[in-house]
Amino acid sequence: MASFDPNNVDLDTADMAQVVCYLNSEGNEYNGHMGARISAIFVILICSTLATFFPVVAKRMPKVKVPVYVYLFARYFGTGVILATAFVHLLDPAYDEIGPASCVGLTGNWAEYSWPPAIVLISITIIFLMDFTAELYVESKYGLNRTTDRTSIVQEHDHPVPPALTAKNDSAPTKDVYAEERDADSIAAERSFRQQISAFLILEFGVMFHSVIIGLNLGVAGDEFATLYPVLVFHQSFEGLGIGARMSAIPFARNSWLPWLLCLTYGLTTPIAIAIGLGVRNSYNPGSSTANIVSGVLDSISAGILIYTSLVELLARDFLFDPCRTNDRRRLGFMVVCTLLGTGVMALLGKWA
Q: Which residue has the higher pLDDT, 202 or 95?
A: 95
pLDDT at residue 154, rounded to an integer:
40
> Mean pLDDT across the chain, nearest whole number?
82
Residue 43 gets the label, from left (phi > 0), alpha (psi -120 to 50) or beta, of alpha
Question: For residue 90, which of 239, 218, 201 has the smallest C-alpha distance?
Answer: 239
**Confidence bin at 95 (pLDDT 50/70/90):** very high
Q: How confident is the model at residue 3 (pLDDT cuts 50, 70, 90)?
A: low
Q: What is the pLDDT of residues 229-283, one digit of tens each?
A: 999 999 999 999 889 888 888 888 878 888 899 999 999 999 999 999 898 888 8
Q: Kindly state the percentage of the chain with pLDDT values over 90.
A: 34
- pTM value is 0.79
pLDDT in tens, 148-191: 544 444 444 445 545 554 444 555 555 566 565 665 566 666 77
DSSP assigned state of 282: T
Q: Confidence class of residue 103 from pLDDT cuts 50, 70 and 90?
A: confident
Of the pLDDT bands very low, low, confident and very high (cuts 50, 70, 90), residue 63 is confident
Q: Give mean pLDDT, residues 313-338.
A: 88
Measured CA to CA, the distance from residue 35 to residue 56 in angstroms comes to 33
Query: Which residues are CB-contacts of 291 (< 8 A; sequence separation ≥ 6)?
Result: 284, 285
Q: What is the pLDDT of residue 208?
A: 87
Provide the pLDDT for residue 157: 45
For 228-257, b/e burial (b = at least 16 CB within 10 A) is bbebbbbbbbbbbbbbbbbbbebebeeeee
Cα–Cα dist 273/25, whole Å: 22
DSSP state letter for 229: H
| pLDDT score recorded for residue 26 | 66
Proportion of the chain above pLDDT 70, given as a percent: 80
pLDDT higher than 90, residue 132 = no
* CA dihedral sign, ordered 51, 53, 54, 55: positive
CB 349 within 8 A of CB 235: yes
Length of the chain in terms of residues written: 353
One-letter amino acid identity for 335? M
Give the pLDDT score at 186: 64
